[in-house]
Amino acid sequence: MTKVKIKRGDNVIVTTGKNRGSKGEVLEVIRKEGKDPRVVVAGINIVKKHTKPSAQNPQGGIVEKEASLHISNVALVDKNGKATKTGTKVEGGKKVRVAKTTGETL
Which regions of the chain does DSSP assign to beta strands (E)? 11-14, 23-30, 38-41, 46-51, 61-66, 69-70, 74-77, 83-84, 86-91, 94-99
How far apart, in whole angstroms, are the C-alpha atoms of residue 6 and residue 76?
7
| Per-residue model confidence (pLDDT) at position 9 | 93
The answer, as to whether pTM is greater than 0.75, is yes
| Per-residue model confidence (pLDDT) at position 57 | 86
End-to-end CA distance of the chain: 23
The percent helix, strand, coil of the chain (3-state, each to 5) is 5, 45, 50
How far apart, in whole angstroms, are the C-alpha atoms of residue 88 and residue 77?
16
Tell me, which fold does domain 11-99 have in CATH?
SH3 type barrels. (2.30.30)
pLDDT tens digits for 69-93?
A: 999 999 999 988 899 999 999 988 8
Give the start-to-end residue ranges of the domains of the chain: 11-99
